[in-house]
A and B are shown apart, each in its own frame.
Chain A
């Protein structure tokens, strides 16, 4: 087991430990601030990783991701406003329990849930990644082509309620992904004579534009809103009896979250809704949900932290990010000159195993730092939007510039931000767009290489063992979507997932 034989001295360096602590604290803060979630948090801190070692850089971002998913529940509970999209389900019972005078207890359920979720996510990451990568290493171009298509089908079908608009978002992402120099023939595609576009549209610029700049434009709607916070009774201590009461749902939520996180296009937001609905369905007293039920806090919070570990699985094994947040982490890998995927286990084993164990350390750090600093973040929530918004905007733009020292990218970020603002208002899917943008080149390259191998015959996609399995998965998924579309009756109101 190489997992246990790694050199732990490469993990426990001062740089890595500081990265985890700072990442966690920053993640808790950004998660707690209403409206700002893990994706923006990771995108804003990304430029700071340029000067770091690969392991330190990735651990910093992973710690932010983990911290932000718990941090989101702080404002859900104390303010009744979700801190991140993934903490929306927590508002239902969390804010009621806080209004009853027990915000600390609610935060305690959330923190413990997040901790268990994070641990289960780490376990899933460690146990699923290695066997998956040994399969993935055998994949050739036809399999990668089909995997790309599978990813697109997932995001198009799952990320928005308006299917045609999701498909349009996917196709638009694919189209934009083709801008630049064609790797096979050297011909310039859609560069419109611009030198800056030869390398294609910058992924970092697009991500920051679509998720940070557009979010800034969104917050302008309530610039001078002042939140009233309940800053008494913020101690997050729980008794054993209380933990035992929610243990079952916490574990169930963690498992749901971890596996939902693996699927592209879903991630923490839907995971927490699934866990909440499942906890309510399985409960003997479903009528207590919505009235401050502890399970209604612990289950979704376990799920959204579980999803963090799950989301890293496709990124590490296949090099395919499943969510916008992991797309930014992919950006960090690429800036370090490392292409994640099955080969990374051979080329950088210390990095991969370091991420596994570091992820576990980051989860533990989140629990202890969260425990002692929650009341601090709860007080910070009164930070006014009018001051925060311009600061986020300028740091985002400067970060984009720093990624490539190219001012053209800053223009891309601004345009992407404005376009994303309208796309979001009109229910187009931003995650679908960005994932298609990243998957597009993978899909096109593997399609063209496959067809070169087979002399132009498409039979290469259904005559290979693994290809057939992936093809069946795609067909199964499409079938399930069409079936669900035809039978919408089975859906009750509270299983509906809001658009992300």
Chain B
């Protein structure tokens, strides 16, 4: 990923977010009369300042002559992990089977990340570690802290 391009995309996204906030703050009603400034004042000021700074940063990034590459090491692992986390939380939220879901999630990541040894050995160690961790979660969060999952 190019540093300049990455920065510009990020700035664009932030500008978009601040524009949404700015638009929304206009619909905030200032019903109270005894307050010199209402709930819309601060959001308006901040989002306008944010848009201005994004433009300034955009210009300073453009002015910089040298560009560099941002290393996204093993980016496919980042994608796998985020997707796995999303699937895990969705299963947890909608199916409810917290312990089963988290066991599968943990096992999948451990298996995916490990590139040492044979397939059989990898499955065995991943299963072992997942089991110990989930038991730990059950004992500490489920029993000791009384968290209802």
Among the listed B30, B47, B74, which residue makes an inter-chain contact with A221, where contact means beta carbons less than 8 Å apart? Answer: B74
Evaluate contact between A178 and B109: CB separation under 8 angstroms: no
Is A233 an interface position by the 8 A CB rule?
Answer: no
Q: Which of B12-50 contact A (CB under 8 A)?
A: 14, 17-18, 21, 24-25, 28-32, 34-39, 41-43, 46-47, 49-50
For chain A, the bracket of interface size reads 35 or more
Instruction: Give 1 or 0 for each of A26-56: 1 = CB within 8 Å of chain B CB.
Output: 0000000000000000000001101100000
Could you jot down 11 A-B contacts, CB within 8 Å? A168-B53, A171-B46, A174-B46, A185-B30, A190-B24, A220-B74, A224-B113, A386-B115, A394-B105, A398-B102, A428-B10
With contacts A190-B21, A387-B129 taken as known, whether A455 is within 8 angstroms of B144 at the C-beta atoms is: no
Task: Give Cα A385 to B93, complex, Å.
Answer: 28
List residues of chain B with CB under 8 Å of any chain A CB: 1, 3, 6-7, 10-11, 14, 17-18, 21, 24-25, 28-32, 34-39, 41-43, 46-47, 49-50, 53-54, 56-57, 60, 70-74, 77-78, 81-82, 85-86, 89, 92-93, 102, 105-106, 109-110, 113-116, 125, 129, 133, 137, 140-141, 144-145, 147-149
Q: Which of A167, A410, A421, A451 is within 8 Å of B36, CB to CB?
A: A451
> Is A182 on the interface with B (CB-CB < 8 A)?
yes
Give residues of chain A (436-460) contacting chain B, Cβ–Cβ below 8 Å: 444, 447-448, 451-452, 455-456
CB pair A47–B78 under 8 Å, yes or no, is no
Find out whether the CB atom of A172 lies under 8 angstroms from the CB atom of B28: no
Known: A51-B144, A390-B113, A425-B70. A185 touches B14 (CB 8 A): no
A162 to B11, CA, bound (A): 14
* Residue A206 interfacial (CB < 8 Å): no
Chain B, residue nearest A179 (CB): B21
> Roughly how many angstroms separate A175 CA and B116 CA in the complex, as a whole number?
46
User: CB < 8 Å: which of A172, A174, A220, A452 contacts B81?
Assistant: A220
Q: Which of chain A's residues have a CB closer than 8 A to the CB of B144?
A: 51
For the complex with contacts A171-B46, A387-B125, A390-B106, 7 further pairs of A-B residues with Cβ separation under 8 Å are A187-B29, A189-B28, A386-B116, A389-B109, A390-B109, A394-B106, A407-B92
* 9 pairs of A and B residues whose beta carbons are closest in the complex: A221-B73, A456-B36, A390-B109, A386-B113, A164-B57, A182-B39, A220-B77, A171-B50, A451-B36
Chain A residues near B149 (CB-CB < 8 A): 401
Q: Is the CB of B141 within 8 A of A47?
A: yes
With the chains together, A422 CA to B12 CA distance in Å? 14
Mark out the residues of chain A between 282 and 311 whose CB falls within 8 Å of any chain B CB in the assembled complex. Answer: none
Which residue of the partner chain A has the closest CB to B76? A220
Q: Does A402 contact B (CB under 8 A)?
A: yes
In the complex, are the beta carbons of B49 and A171 less than 8 A apart? Answer: yes
Question: Is A217 a contact partner of B81 (Cβ separation < 8 A)?
Answer: yes
Report yes or no: B10 in contact with A422, Cβ–Cβ below 8 A: yes
Most central of B14, B46, B116, B140 by chain A CB within 10 Å: B46
Contact B50 A168 (CB under 8 A): yes
Q: How far is the CB of A451 from chain B (nearest CB, A)?
A: 4
Is A418 engaged at the interface, CB distance under 8 Å to the other chain?
Answer: yes
Query: Which of A51, A394, A447 contacts B133 (CB under 8 A)?
Result: A394
Does A137 sit within 8 A of B, measured CB to CB?
Answer: no
Task: Let me know if A393 is at the binding interface, CB within 8 A.
Answer: yes
The minimal Cβ–Cβ distance linking A397 to chain B, given in whole angstroms, is: 7
With contacts A387-B129, A405-B147 taken as known, whether A426 is within 8 angstroms of B10 at the C-beta atoms is yes
Partner of B34, one of A394, A410, A452: A452
